[in-house]
Homo-oligomer: A and B are copies of this chain.
């Protein structure tokens, strides 16, 4: 950020008088341009005992598998954004369930939120950001070819919790949460 989006003057990084941390402040109009983490919202789309994954057609991690997810947009809820991404990337209509995982990726300035979701039919198709989309049983998950640590962690939790019988709809779902470290790669 080099110029003020409000008046086009130059920006200085400094601590405003009433603040305690460095901000991008306009030299002319004084506007403080705050920067905040962004939410990535997605689903674990389930059909029977299988989970739907998308192979990425875009950077980063082109060619790797992911759960459908993307940046939350203005004007939508976390849940609605997750359902939208599932339709856009995987062509799948889902009935949204509860929030299942919240992963902080502080070094990427992101929070990843995954919802449980039930596919109403085994209908899916690759959207523009996907090379292919497929249903996987637990023993077929391409663990070595997953795109992001948040996806790997969410799938690991999901299969552990499912095996323990606590994702049946009769149990309250506890949100799984942890921080992802910069060094974590898949």
Which of the segments A45-53, A72-80, A132-140, A150-158 contacts the partner chain?
A72-80
| Contact (Cβ within 8 A) B177 A98 | yes
* Beta-carbon nearest neighbor of A172 in chain B: B174
Mark interface residues in A153-182 (1 if CB within 8 Å of B CB, else 0): 000000000000000000011110101000
Given contacts A72-B36, A111-B39, contact A3 B11 (CB under 8 A): no
Number of residues of chain A lying within 8 A (CB) of chain B = 42
| Contact (Cβ within 8 A) A71 B36 | yes
Q: With the chains together, A73 CA to B20 CA distance in Å?
A: 12
Interface of chain A: mostly helix, strand, loop or mixed: loop
| Contact (Cβ within 8 A) A6 B3 | yes
* Beta-carbon nearest neighbor of A4 in chain B: B3
Which of the segments A60-68, A101-109, A117-125 contacts the partner chain?
A101-109
| Contact (Cβ within 8 A) B34 A5 | no
Q: A37 within 8 Å of B by Cβ?
A: yes
Instruction: Please name 16 further chain A to chain B contacts, defined as beta carbons within 8 Å, in addition to the given A18-B128, A39-B111, A172-B172, sorted by A numbering.
Output: A1-B6, A2-B5, A2-B6, A3-B5, A3-B6, A3-B8, A34-B71, A36-B38, A36-B39, A36-B72, A36-B73, A37-B72, A75-B109, A78-B111, A99-B175, A173-B174
